[in-house]
Structure 1
Amino acid sequence: MAEQIDEHKLTAISPVDGRYGRLTAPLSPFFSEFALIKKRVEVELKFLLYLSESRLIRGFTQKEKAYLQKLISDFSLRDGLMVKKIENTTHHDVKAVEYFLREKFQKSSFKGTIPYLHIGLTSEDINNICWRCLAQEALIKVLLPELLSIHKNLRTFARTYRNLAMLGRTHGQAAIPTTMGKEVAVFSQRLEAQITSLKTLKFSAKFSGAVGGWNALCLVFPSVNLPAFSRRFVKSFGLEFHVLTTQIAPNDDIVELLQTLERINLVLINLNQDLWRYVSDGWLIQKSKAGQVGSSTMPQKVNPIDFENSEGNLFFANGIATTIVSKIAISRLQRDLSGSTVLRNLGVAFAHSLVGYLSLLKGLDNISPDKEKIVGELNSDWRILAEALQVILRKEGDTKAFEKVAALTKKGIWKQEDWREVVESFRLTAKSKNLLLKLRPEGYIGLSGKIVK
């Protein structure tokens, strides 16, 4: 069934909402404007509940608690539009949420509790919890599953082809044999290390007022151990707690998140480029889908577009991540707004990363090695065994082994018979000569196949 084209895809400015909207939709519950407003409502109402449970304001009945929970769970797009309408007047997004809740409370038993909404807090007490909760959820529910799928795919590929010998290249030139599986396993291992870093990343938030000193709350609740009080509230969201802050929490945790994603994306960019080269060399075959067009003028083309698309989106994601990191790590004095407007693009960095991951997975699902082509290339020039010859000569005491073999390689390509002739030209023990004469390019892989787990 053909995909229906949403008109919004044609009018959206950003490709993550337009062209790639179907792929990035899973991030909308975490990084849309609606998602942020809804999370603010949740934090504000949970703080009110917390005040009640801490016996700092009147106790709430079970019916009242259920009402507050329903305000959170049933928060709708219509509610979100009401908040935005209020913001048109306040020109302050968090204050608009407070006023929205005041309106909701006017005709309820919470009317007398209205003064305690947002009491003693600053916007960043709400926002810093929201951003960390949303980023953590998006990471766990959206990005990590795709990264784990890539890792699993790479491990399977590496194990399947760990003994498939192929020509290794250094500086783009023919070097010595390696295996297809081992080369892919390198990326699998690098990715695994960074996934572990993501899984162990801890997010931290503050909840201490306008300049981080609980100034207002000290006046309202003078007998309360406010650092302990705030710590318990922050930890209820699954976050660590910052005691010493300015108006904003140090953003080092979000910096660490983005820099870890940057490292992951660099690993996968490297993988995309290598797979692209293997496709270009004909070592990897791409499955061609019915109706797919590779070129507007060249009918024979089947382009490695999935790897190219992945590479491009991951580069762009890293560019955004670098910009966010360089800004949110700095804030003038106790706080300025420039970091806040930049942080709103956190979801864009996630979105381009997600497109990159999904494109890579699609590409991986469509490739398989052309073993005949790979072996043919491997055996096209036996000079790739020159290293083996010179080390055996060294072992037998020839101090000029490297130079002698190097001089012979300069004369041109070696075929199998040329290799035999070269080996026979040296004075070697019968054991060494027999070893070299039996050696073939596909057998000179060392431990490459064995070290792939």
Structure 2
Amino acid sequence: MYDRYESPLSSRYASPEMLKLFSMETRIQTWRKLWVALAKAEMELGLPITEEQVQQLEEQVENIDFSCAAAREKEVRHDVMAHVYTYGKVAPKAAGIIHLGATSCYVTDNGDLILYRDALLHLRKGLLAVMQNLAAFAKQYRALPTLGYTHYQPAQLVTVGKRATLWLQDFLMDLEELDFVLEHMKFLGCRGTTGTEASFLDLFGGDTVKIDEMNRRIGKTFGFSECYDVCGQTYPRKLDSRILQCLSAIGQSCYRMANDIRLLQHDRQIEEPFEKNQIGSSAMAYKRNPM
């Protein structure tokens, strides 16, 4: 494992929850759950799919043969169809109805929307924990005076609690933006190759009411109350920039707080915890380099 590049973003800094969420196993299981939801909705709305087929799909969601999928993808040069094939191998009774009427983006894009939503919800929990800790810290030291700075020059007195509320306020603004992004995330649904639902119009004999109901049921299965009003094959990529902006804002707040702490450490106004066996500097044992 040491003869391959390893990203410190995952090995050092990512949480176990995020590593699990964005793993290939979780991604393909999400694809399979989407295929189950599609088959179930199609069955309930009158297409020739049996309960036995749906049940077999449900039973095999976690039984993923990645070696089989890799070999098949090498042959057909298509990741989604390789996993359709692999799923059909362990659910043979349902092999013919997996992905019925759908295009690849049904699983790739809806799957990404689910993963992004779940990741943002996990991030929200962490953000709330940081805010809770900062609020308690600010309250505890609300009356403790300390030297304030402007332009990093000694200025008037402030309190330690007041300084912490500056960081807390930034995170509050981030929370508001994060909630906005979550509130306005929608599901792609089954829209076909160009967003016209043409394949489903054929399957349902032109019954648009059933198609809308199918999308509503699938979206509800994964916790989405709405689909995007119009789209192409993919969900609107504007959402990606919205998510990135939100993540950037949280990163900016973290950087501002960390940079303030780093500057205050220089003046010995604050220190990070230092463990018994921790090494502050390889050459100067008395140093406590900030982490």
* TM-score (normalised: structure 1): 0.59
2:167 to 187, 197, 222: 187
Q: Equivalent pairs: percent with the same residue?
A: 24
Q: How far apart in 2 are the matches of 1:65 and 1:119? A: 12
Aligned residue identity for 2:126 = E
Going from structure 1 to structure 2, the CA distance change for 1:60 and 1:172 (only over 3 Å counts) comes to same
| Alignment correspondent of 1:241 | 227
Aligned partners of 1:204 and 1:253 also within 8 Å = no
Range with greater deviation from structure 2 (250-259 or 48-57): 250-259
1:250 aligns with 2:236: yes
Deviation at 1:214, TM superposition (A): 1.1
> What is the aligned partner in structure 1 of residue 137 from structure 2?
157
The equivalences for 1:265-414 within 5 A come to 265-305=251-291
Residue 128 of structure 1 aligns with an amino acid whose one-letter code is D
On the 8 A contact 1:168/1:178 being kept in 2, the answer is yes
- 3-state secondary structure, aligned to 1:120: coil
2:83 is matched with 97
Distance of 1:65 and 1:153 partners within structure 2: 47
Report how far residue 244 of structure 1 moved.
1.0
Match of 1:46 among 37, 55, 58: 37
* Match of residue 178 from structure 1: 158
C-alpha separation between the residues in 1 aligned to 2:290 and 2:279? 12
8 A contact 1:212–1:244 mirrored in 2? yes
SS at match of 1:284: coil
C-alpha displacement of 1:88: 1.5
Label 1:288 to 1:233 Cα distance change in 2 as closer, same or farther (>3 A): closer
User: Any idea what SS the aligned residue of 1:190 has?
Assistant: helix
**Residue 56 of structure 2 aligns with which residue?**
67
SS in 1 for 2:285: coil
Give the aligned residue type for 1:219. D
- 1:269 CA drift (Å): 0.4
Residues 212, 129 of structure 1: CA spacing in aligned structure 2 closer, same or farther, 3 A cutoff?
A: same
- Displacement, 1:158? 0.8
Q: Deviations over 1:319-355 (max 9, x none)?
A: xxxxxxxxxxxxxxxxxxxxxxxxxxxxxxxxxxxxx
2:186 — aligned with what? 204
Q: In the aligned structure 2, how far is the partner of 1:247 from the partner of 1:288? A: 53
Q: Which has the larger radius of gyration?
A: 1
Equivalent residue letter for 1:126:
V
1:13 aligned residue: 6
Question: Unaligned regions of 5+ residues in structure 1, if any?
Answer: 1-7, 306-453
Write out per-residue CA displacement over residues 237-271 of structure 1, whole angstroms, 9 at most, x where no aligned residue.
12230131111110233322221111111011000
Post-superposition offset of 1:231: 3.3
- Equivalent pair of 1:168/1:176 in contact (CA under 8 Å): yes
> 8 Å contact 1:49–1:65 — kept in the other structure?
yes
Is residue 37 from structure 1 mapped to residue 17 from structure 2 by the alignment?
A: no
Summarize deviations over 1:80-123 as a string: whole Å, max 9, x none.
332222112121111111111232343x3x36xx1x32222211
Unaligned runs of 5+ in 2: none
1:275: how far off? 0.8
**Would the aligned equivalents of 2:195 and 2:230 in 1 still touch at CA under 8 Å?**
yes
Aligned length: 285
Give the superposition deviation at 1:12.
4.0
**Equivalent position SS for 2:51:** coil
C-alpha spacing 1:151/1:10, structure 2 compared with 1 (3 Å): farther
- Check if 1:220 corresponds to 2:203: yes
Quick one: which amino acid aligns to residue 7 of structure 2? Answer: S
